[in-house]
Each structure stands twice: as C-alpha cells, then as structure tokens.
Amino acid sequence: MRHILSATIFAASLAVSAGVQAQVPAGYPADYGKIVDAAKKEGKVVIYSTTDAVSANPLVKDFETLYPGVKVEYSDLNSTELYNRFIAESASNNGTGDVIWSSAMDLQVKLVADGLALTYPSPEIKALPKWAVWKDSAYGTTYEPIAFVYNKRLVPEADVPKDHAALLKLLETKPDAYKGKITAYDPERSGVGYLFFNEDIKNFPPSWDLFKAMGKVQTKFYTSAGAMMERVTSGEHTIAYGIFGSYGLARSKKDPNLGIVLPSDFTMVTSRVAFISKNAKNPNAAKLFLDYMLSKRGQEVVAKADLYTLRDDIDSDASIKAVTKLIGDKARPVPIDETLLETLDQTKRLAFLSKWQKAKKGE
Amino acid sequence: MPIVPIVAYRFLVLGLTTLAVAMPLSLVVYQSFLTAPFFDPSAHTSFAAYSFVFQDDDFWQAFWTTLTICTGMVTIAVPLGALLAFLMVRTDVPGKRYLEPLLLIPIFVSAVVIAFGYVVAVGPVGIFSTLAKDLLGFVPWNLYSLFSLIVIAGLTHVPHVYLYSAAALRGLSTDLEEAARVSGATPFQVAVNVSLPMILPAILFAGVLVFFLGFELFGLPLVLGDPQDVLVLSTYLYKLTNKLGVPSYQLMAVVVVVIIAVTAPLVFTQRLLLRQAQRYVSVRGKGMKSKPLPLHSWRWFAFAAIILWLIVTVAAPLFGITLRSFVVTWGEGVKLLDVLTLDHYRELLEYPNVIRGIVNTFGIGVIGGAIAVACYTAIALAVHRWNSGWTRLVDYIVMVPRAMPGLIAGLALLWVFLFVPFLSPLRSTMVSIWLAYTIVWLAYGMRLVSGTLLQVGPELEEAARVSGASDLRVKRDVTLPLIKYGMLASWLLIFLIFVREYSTGIYLLGPGTEVIGSLLVSLWGTGAIDLVSALSVVNVVMIGAGLAVAIRLGVRLHG
C-alpha cells in the first residue's frame, strides 16, 4: 500500500515539475519561463518579514509546491529590526533578504524612496487596486481593516461602539465603567500606533476629542497587538482600539468571546508592503515569490491565513468583498506612495507627540 | 626558557580578548559621533546625537528609573542571595538536593516568559488576583507599578548572587566557622560575621553584576512596564526610534555609550576593592570535609523562607505560563475547564523553524557553553598571578560587553560580521550566535572562573614551581585541577544563560540560527501568544531535565 502511494506521489511530483518548467502562468508574458528557470537555478529565496512564520507558513508551503526546487528561507522580525538589519546588509553587499515584506508601510516606502528596491512591474499589476502599487517597486499584498476588538463576555451589547463617534460618546457617558478598560497602540513607542492615530486625524475631525476622552479613562497603551488582544480576551481590558482585523479575525476563530467591529463611519485599511531588494542574490526567485503572492492562487492562501486579500476576485471572510459587504464604501486604504514619507517627518512627529502627551493626560 | 611561552600565551589571549570586545564596542562609540549609519556615505562626525538625547526629557526619566531599579535590585538580591548561599552550602536545611536545581530556575527562564507568567498569575485579572478579590474584596497588589517591577527584578536575580556566593563558599574551608560556632555564635551570626565577610569579593562581584543586569533589563519592563509606561533605558530605545520615525543608529549608540559611561566607574571601584583579594585566600594546602552547621529550631523556618521565595519567584509565574499553554483563553468570567486544549503543542510541531530552534538552543547551551567556559578559563588563567598593569586592562575589557544591552551588542556584532570580510561567511551559522553570546556573557563567566581562582592559595602553585615546573605546567597540573569544580559550575551557569538568552540573538536570527529565546521575542511581537506559552513550557521542561542531570553529575564529581 505504502509503495503504491509513494509511487503515485512520485509520479505526480514528476508531472508537476515537468509541467511547470514548460508552463507559464496564464496571462503572464511568454518569456516568464526564463525567470522560472533562472529561479530554479538560484534554488532559494530569502524573505525578511514582519508577518509571523505561523501565519505565513501556508503561503510558503504552497509556493514550494508550485515551484519545486525553489526553497523559501523565511525570517520573521519586528519592523525596526528588519529595517536596521536590511540597511546594514544592503550597504555591506554581503547578502540580504531577497523579498522584504513588512507591515511598517512608511518604512517600506522610505526604503523604496532611498533606492534600495528593484523596479519590477509584476504581471499581476492589472488585478491590483491602484493605491497598492508604487513606482513598480512597492506592492501592497493584503487588505487589512483596522478594527475595534472587544470582549463579548464583559461588554454589554448596547455598549459595543459601532463607529468612532459612538466610542467617543461611550467614553464620555460611562467614564467610570471603562476606566482602565480601553487599550490601544502607543503612538509614542510604536510606529504602527503613530501611523494609525494620524490616519484617524485625517478621517475623523473630532479625533483629538476622542484621544482626550481615551486619556481621561486612563487608556492603556501597548506596543504589540498580541499583548493587547491577550489582555482583551482575559478581561484585563475590554475594548481594544485600532487592532489589525487580521489578528482579530484569526483570534476570534479560536476564541468565540472576541468580537470585532469594523467602524461604520470609516475603516482604515492597511497593507503589508513587499518589494524585491536591489541587492537580491536571488532576484528571479524573488520575482516568482512576489508574483505568486499577488496571484489569485497566492491571495487565496493569504485569505485563508486571515490576512485579508486585496484582490476583488476572491470570496472569503478575509477579503475586500467581505469588508465591502460590512461597511460599503467606507473603507479608507492607506495609499502606498510618497505621502507616507510625511509621517516620517521629524518636526511633524515631535509636534504631534507633544500634543498627544497632553491628550493622554486628558487635557 | 620557561618565561617565553607563558608571556606569549598571556599576550595572545589578551590580544584576542581585546579584539573580540573592541570591535563591536568601537563601532558603537564611533557610530555615536556620526549623523547617519556609519556605512552611509553621507555620514559625518558631529555631536548632534548627543545633544538630541541629552535634551530629551524622556531620556532623563528613563535614566533615573533605571538607576532606581538597579539600586532596588541590588538591595534585594545581594543580601538574600548571600544568605541563601550560606543556608544551602553550610547548614542542614532540609531537602537541599531537591531545592538546589529549583533555585536556579529564575536564571534560565527568559524574563519575557516570567513576566508574562506573572500577568496570567497575578495581573489585574490573573488567577491569584481573582482569588484574592473573591476572598478580600480587592486585589492587594498592583503588578504594573514600579515597585512591583523592582521587587520582581530583585527576587529573580537572587540566584545570580547565590551562584557566585555558593561557588566561593564551597572553596572555603570551614574551620573558622566551626571556631565561631564552638565559641557560641548562632548560625545567623556565623553567616553575617564569619562566612559572608570571607566571600566578600564574590558577593561584591555579584552585586556589581546585578547592577549591570539592571541596566540592561529588557524583558521585564517590556511586558510589565508596558501598560504603565514605566520607561527604562532599554525600552527608551524603542521610544527613541519612534520619535524620529526611522530607526536611528547614532541615537541608539549614544544611549549605549551613556550606559558604559555609568558602569565604567563601577568597575574601577570594584577593581580597587579586589586589590585586597589576597586577604581572602582560604584554600590552603590542607583542609578537610566537615559536617554542616546545625540550625536546630531554625531549620524549618529557613526551609519555609526558601519555599516562600520559590513560590513567589518561580512557582507563580511558571504556573501562569503553563496554564496559559493549555487553554484557549483565560481571565475574568472564564471557566478554565471549558477551554482546555493541547492544540498549542500540536501547532509547535508544524513549524520547522521552531524545531530547529529547540535543537539549536540545546546545542548552544551544551557545546557552545563548554567552549565558552574553556575560553573564559583561558583568559582567567592568563591573568592569574600576573603582577602587571595588563591585568587591570583585562578587568575593564571583560566588563564592557556586559554594559551593552544584549539587543545592541547583537546589532553591533551583526555589523562586525557584515563588514569584516573573513567573518561574513559565518554570519548565518550558529558560530555568529556563539560568538555573540560568549562576548556578551564574558564578564559573567569570567567572574565565576576567576572568583574560584582567587580561592586558590599561592603556596600550592609555588610548591610546584619550586619543584621545577614551568609556569604553564603549574597552570595545567596544579591550578586547573584545583578549580575543576568552579569550571563545572561555570559551565552549568553558562548553559543556563545561553539557553535562556533572548535579546542578543534577535539581529542574528535567520534560517539556521534560530534559538528559542529570539523566537519567543519575535513570536511575542507578532501576537502568537499560544505558541509563546507552549514553547516556553517546552523550554523549561527540556532544560529542567538537563539541569537535573547536570546537578547529579556535578554533585558526584564533587563528592
């Protein structure tokens, strides 16, 4: 029995590898086969990413099935470490990640602006939203709504805020019930938090009132989404403001006590940005991986991993379609372009932070 | 000509040590005076980074908080650790054989794990907090206050002091203590007036090291300081990055230079104190085994005190993290029986990098640890009985890496591996991790080895030399065998430290160089708490077993 089985697998894998060598994915340029062959010669692709290996694992495995002979070496790092390591390695020209894939959109755009990315127009561009492609170098790979996450056991149904205004009202009318119970990213210590709060200001005029109200109820600010969600499920806090919907969705599938709200006035949408390193040692394998990640097949895996696909031709509860169904046209994707560099402007940052420190005290 | 080989040996060791420490250090110092990363062509020298940091209120706040924490830690850990060593080595406290491995747990569990265990156990809605609330109507503690942070940091560093003091006490003959005892001193008086003063060098070393460890405390404030925004220098680095939007090498370098500037005078003070080391020589060319000191009615009181400390420092957080690894969720209003699961452990097995991490971690502890101890011993022997200004230099050199936060030391070593041509092929192998760990823990291992060396009286070596042995032969045939036990203890300690280390490997983490500690930090950051808890438990169980074997072996070798 085992022999028959392994013989079948062997035959199947032969068929697959033979098939891929000749075959170019539908709609791709005819000479794409050359890239595939060159990638196989390179034999591997090195990926630096902020997406944890657990979530990325299905993507890596499926890619290796699709292109046997190209191994994926996957490293997950936090965004600061990734940035520090990548610039040092790029400068030493001693080998670095081939594909750089990070949720720190502003830092990614800076790296591209600093000329550290390879210009490569992916054959998948047509299928992607316009805001998700910049300079044929930086590509958005996910469509992650920023949500309110709350503890269903401890937050009464009537209190669950449906939008930003409702949250502001809740904090103003019931400050005692929610004292110390709200949590959010810390814009002083976390780049993600800084980006989120500044996008809020653009989209929600009374944002500073909301921040002050959060300050008054002694909101606890954290630097990691994991820490926040763990404390929301435990009841130490009950509502988390501004959490990646992807983390919330994955967690709520394991723990039914976790509720997710996509605010109905506007929902910010972020995307993990990927580019190919200019100094890539395996540029062809990198191209394959990037194209795969953006392809329908790759994006289906992205959706399955709850990372939210940005292609509109995929049905899933983690997709553009599902988000649109919930909030209609209220999604506000953060465009991947030079406007993100403004968030890195030091004068603006210091101005925001000093205003923030007052708001945190409720002033 | 016996003189030439020993001199050659000394300068060879000295040169290698200096090189290993100076490369990353000089890069950091140089970086602090630049306006951009040192490899950036636009970088030029300036004091801009210094003036930015010194004008930042947050820096000063973090600085004073760090000093407060360090002082608090030393105040708690040094007396408790020294007393603990006395109880364990000299007295008849019950169950010593079983207590010994337990005492060391706080050292080898990564601080991130301990901190998170505390959140589950005694956080605002933790298991014991809810219990206390049911009984008393309120929670009598606040885990996130600065005070709690100091107490936890102090209590978890007791074993560091214990290990140094115990190693020193073991090398000490008991005749003076017995004399005191015969003259009617109580066990406590013996400890405070006789035993502990005799191992003062070891205690001082430990105190300074605990102070250093306080400076680079990272895991505890990362988790426990997060909600209240208690800022220490290592977490200030995070905030600093965010102020500018882009990570800034030069500002991080400035903070590290400040840390070194604070710790260097401490090393100087310590060095002055140690000039008197000869006064403490106590292993003479005689000595015999003696019976432990009877505590009589205090016996069970001492036992209870140790157990209480163990419950607070070890049992509570480990219970927390273990519980977390078996449940889907926890907290207010959750019936734990309804949410039990084994899924987190099954998940672990699905990730090849996690499996590799476990294997690598064990390898770096056992093999890497042994090689590191060999290196430390080589350095310690080189400066042993060397009346020269060079020994002072070595003392400073070995202390320096300890003053750098592990995270930064790891980054500096990444630079070294990137820009030194013959080293670059080793970057993505465990060699890079080993070198980083060995350098970062240089002070730690060195002090243990040389603390043992201090106990070796010169007359044994002189006897050998008079009989015609060369200097190197004396070291090999007399000194080394005498410090065998100290080396074994060092290996054990280094094994624990290497296996637990979490911050140094972060920048060197990649396929093939995964270690559990760095994996824990990266998983924690991305929110995979299920895996973090399961991996932590695997780590603790794995090392616990290894430790039990080592202790057995060690005890037998000694007896």
In a domain, B293, yes or no: no
The answer, for A71 touching chain B at a CB cutoff of 8 Å, is no
- One-letter-per-residue 3-state SS of chain A: CHHHHHHHHHHHHHHHHHHHHHCCCCCCCCCHHHHHHHHHHHCEEEEEECCCHHHHHHHHHHHHHHCCCCEEEEEECCHHHHHHHHHHHHHHCCCCCCEEEECCHHHHHHHHHCCCECCCCCCCHHHCCHHHEECCCEEECCCEEEEEEEECCCCCHHHCCCCHHHHHHHHHHCCCCCCCCEEEECCCCCHHHHHHHHHHHHHCCCHHHHHHHHHHCCCEEECCHHHHHHHHHHCCCCEEEEEEHHHHHHHHHHCCCEEEECCCCCEEEECCEEEEECCCCCHHHHHHHHHHHHCHHHHHHHHHCCCCECCCCCCCCCEHHHHHHHHCCCEEECCCCCHHHHCCCHHHHHHHHHHHHHHHCCC
Question: Running DSSP on this structure, what letter comes out for residue B56?
Answer: -
Based on the number of CB atoms within 10 Å of its own CB, is A320 exposed (0-12), middle (13-18) or buried (19 or more)? buried
Contact A87 B227 (CB under 8 A): no
For chain B, how many structural domains are there in total? 1
Highest mean pLDDT, choosing among B305-309, B353-357, B527-531: B305-309
Torsion angles phi and psi, residue B293, rounded to 5: -70, 125
Q: Per the structure block, which two tokens stand in for B454? A: 């201090």
Q: Which amino acid is at B555?
A: V
At A133 the pLDDT is 97
In a domain, B269, yes or no: yes
At B558 the pLDDT is 36
Give me the residue label for tokens 């020294």: B82
Contact A92 B241 (CB under 8 A): no
- One-letter-per-residue 3-state SS of B230-250: CCCHHHHHHHHHHHHCCCCHH
Contact A188 B330 (CB under 8 A): no
Please choose, from the candidates B414, B443, B437, B425, the residue with its C-alpha nearest in 3D space to the C-alpha of residue B368: B437
The answer to whether the beta carbons of residues B192 and B260 sit under 8 Å apart is no
Q: Tell me the residues of chain A between 170 and 199 that have a Cβ less than 8 Å away from chain B.
A: 180, 186-191, 194
Based on the number of CB atoms within 10 Å of its own CB, is A363 exposed (0-12), middle (13-18) or buried (19 or more)? exposed
Segment B503-524, tens digit of pLDDT: 888 888 877 888 998 888 777 7
| Confidence class for position B104, pLDDT limits 50, 70, 90 | confident
**Residues of A in Cβ contact (< 8 Å) with B427:** 94
Whether pLDDT at B455 is above 60: yes
Q: Measured between CA atoms, how close is A73 to chain B, in angstroms?
A: 6
In a domain, B392, yes or no: yes
Torsion angles phi and psi, residue A99, rounded to 5: -115, 130
Comparing B517 with B104, the larger pLDDT belongs to B517
- Cα–Cα distance for residue pair A275/A82, rounded to 1 Å: 13
CA torsion angle for B490, B495, B497, B499 (degrees, to 10)? 180
Q: Per the structure block, which two tokens stand in for B544? A: 């616990």
In a domain, B493, yes or no: yes
Q: Which amino acid is at B423?
A: L
Contact B328 A76 (CB under 8 A): no
Look up the CATH number of the domain holding residue B554.
Answer: 1.10.3720.10
Comparing A277 with B187, the larger pLDDT belongs to A277
> Residue B78: CB partners within 8 Å, gap ≥ 6?
B161, B203, B206, B207, B210
Question: Running DSSP on this structure, what letter comes out for residue B94?
Answer: T
| Confidence class for position B279, pLDDT limits 50, 70, 90 | low
At B411 the pLDDT is 82
Distance between the two ends of chain A, CA-based, in angstroms?
Answer: 74
All structural domains of chain A = 25-142+273-325 (3.40.190.10), 144-269+340-360 (3.40.190.10)
Residue B122: CA count within 13 A, CB half-sphere: 22
Q: Measured between CA atoms, how close is A239 to chain B, in angstroms?
A: 14
Of A139-153, A293-307, B236-250, B470-484, where does mean pLDDT reach its minimum?
B236-250
Whether pLDDT at B285 is above 70: no
Q: Per the structure block, which two tokens stand in for A83? A: 């940035």
Segment B376-403, tens digit of pLDDT: 999 988 888 787 888 878 877 887 787 6
CA distances, B245 to each of A80, A337, B45, B98 (Å): 10, 16, 22, 51
Of A277-291, B174-188, B300-314, where does mean pLDDT reach its minimum?
B174-188
Whether pLDDT at B130 is above 80: yes
In a domain, B536, yes or no: yes
Whether the ipTM is more than 0.85: the answer is no
What are the beta bridge partners of residue A147?
A243
Q: Measured between CA atoms, how close is A46 to chain B, in angstroms?
A: 9
Q: Measured between CA atoms, how close is B230 to chain A, in angstroms?
A: 11
Of A130-134, B45-49, B234-238, where does mean pLDDT reach its minimum?
B234-238
Please choose, from the candidates A83, A38, A74, the residue with its C-alpha nearest in 3D space to the C-alpha of residue A293: A74
- Cα–Cα distance for residue pair B151/B76, rounded to 1 Å: 7
Segment B428-452, tens digit of pLDDT: 889 999 999 999 888 878 877 877 7
At A14 the pLDDT is 45
SS3 B258: helix
| Confidence class for position B1, pLDDT limits 50, 70, 90 | very low
In a domain, B337, yes or no: no
At B539 the pLDDT is 83
- Cα–Cα distance for residue pair B126/A236, rounded to 1 Å: 8
> Residue A200: CB partners within 8 Å, gap ≥ 6?
A164, A207, A210, A242, A268
Range B27-34 average pLDDT? 91
In a domain, B338, yes or no: no
The dihedral sign for the CA sequence B76, B78, B79, B80: positive
Segment B70-93, tens digit of pLDDT: 999 999 999 999 999 999 988 889
Can you give the residue range of the structural domain that contains B498? Answer: 3-281+300-330+343-558
B230-242 burial, b at 16+ Cβ within 10 Å, e below that, comes to: bbbbbbbbbbbbb
Residues A10-19: contacts with CB within 8 Å, 24+ apart? A13/A68, A16/A65, A16/A68, A17/A68, A17/A69
Range B527-552 average pLDDT? 78
**Percent of the residues in chain B that have a pLDDT greater than 90, as a whole number:** 19
Q: Per the structure block, which two tokens stand in for B86? A: 């006395």
Kindly give the parts of chain A with pLDDT less than 70: 1-23
The answer to whether the beta carbons of residues A47 and A99 sit under 8 Å apart is yes
Q: Per the structure block, which two tokens stand in for A346? A: 């030091």
Instruction: For the beta carbon of residue A329, count every other beta carbon within 10 angstroms.
Output: 7
**Residues of B in Cβ contact (< 8 Å) with A46:** 511
Please choose, from the candidates B408, B111, B110, the residue with its C-alpha nearest in 3D space to the C-alpha of residue B241: B408
**Which of B56, B348, B526 has the most A C-beta neighbours within 10 Å, making it the best mutation to test the interface with A?**
B526
The answer, for A92 touching chain B at a CB cutoff of 8 Å, is yes
At A329 the pLDDT is 93
| Confidence class for position B275, pLDDT limits 50, 70, 90 | low
At B527 the pLDDT is 67
In a domain, B292, yes or no: no
At A1 the pLDDT is 43
The answer to whether the beta carbons of residues A262 and A147 sit under 8 Å apart is yes
Segment B338-349, tens digit of pLDDT: 888 888 898 888
Q: Per the structure block, which two tokens stand in for B120? A: 């589950």
Highest mean pLDDT, choosing among A73-87, B168-182, B283-297: A73-87
- Cα–Cα distance for residue pair A37/A39, rounded to 1 Å: 5
- Cα–Cα distance for residue pair B416/B405, rounded to 1 Å: 17
At B554 the pLDDT is 59
